[in-house]
Structures are given as structure tokens and as C-alpha cells.
Amino acid sequence: MPTIVFDIINMIASLIRMLGLAALGVGIGYLAVELFHKAQEWLMQAILFLGLAGLVIAMAVFLAPGALGAFGLGLGVAIFLWGMPRKPKVEEEK
């Protein structure tokens, strides 16, 4: 009986971990995109890219695969939402 309770608690903890890392991925992705756009020189952009790649590599070593996947999905969503160029708004004259 206690093993069923522990299994349920472990599944809930894994779900919370995945949701938290997805939110963390969105936050870090937004921050990285904003800093990448505000960087004046290519050196800062290279540092941001290598830091983000290093973070993902470190997470691949120390995290569970599901949590890393949730982080990657959050990071990808943030890059697609805020990293893509926006179309300029065209106002219609009346």
C-alpha cells in the first residue's frame, strides 16, 4: 500500500518539475532573446549563445529526460514568440 502512495507522489512531483522547467525555459528564452536584440556587438551575442548552449548541456547531464524536454519546449516557444521579426503594422487611410 505505501508503494502506491509513493508512486503517486513521485508522478505528481515529476509533473510539477516538468511544468516548472517549461516555465523556466520560457523565462530564460525571453531573457536571452531580449539581451540578444539589445547587444551592440557580436561578442555579446556569442557569449549569450555559448552561455545558453552551456546551460542546456549542463541540464542534459543533471536532469531527467522529461524535465529537459519540457525546458527545451519552453525555450523553443519563447524563441519563436519573441525572436521572430514582426511585420510592420500598416494603417489604412480613410
Q: What is the 3-state secondary structure of 56-74?
A: HHHHHHHCCHHHHHHHHHH
41 pLDDT more than 70: yes
Q: How many CA atoms lie within 13 A of 65 on its CB side?
A: 0
Say if 20 falls within a structural domain.
yes
Mean pLDDT of 22-34: 93
In this structure, is the dihedral angle defined by the CA atoms of residues 11, 67, 22 and 20, taken in order, positive or negative? positive
- Nearest Cα to Cα of residue 22 among 62, 59, 58: 59
The percent of residues in the chain predicted with pLDDT above 70, rounded, is 98
- Chain-wide mean pLDDT for the chain? 90
As a whole number of angstroms, the distance between CA 29 and CA 63 comes to 18
Say if 39 falls within a structural domain.
yes
Say if 93 falls within a structural domain.
no
Rg for the chain (alpha carbons), in Å? 19
Q: Which three cell numbers stand for residue 42?
A: 557580436
Say if 92 falls within a structural domain.
no
pLDDT value of residue 94: 66
Say if 35 falls within a structural domain.
yes
Residue 43: which pLDDT band, with cuts at 50, 70 and 90? Answer: very high
Say if 87 falls within a structural domain.
no
| pLDDT tens readout for residues 55-73 | 999 999 998 888 899 999 9
82 pLDDT more than 90: no
Say if 45 falls within a structural domain.
yes
Mean pLDDT of 15-20: 93
For 24, the domain range is: 2-80
Characterise 39 by phi-psi region: left (phi > 0), alpha (psi -120 to 50), beta (else). beta
| Count of structural domains, the chain | 1
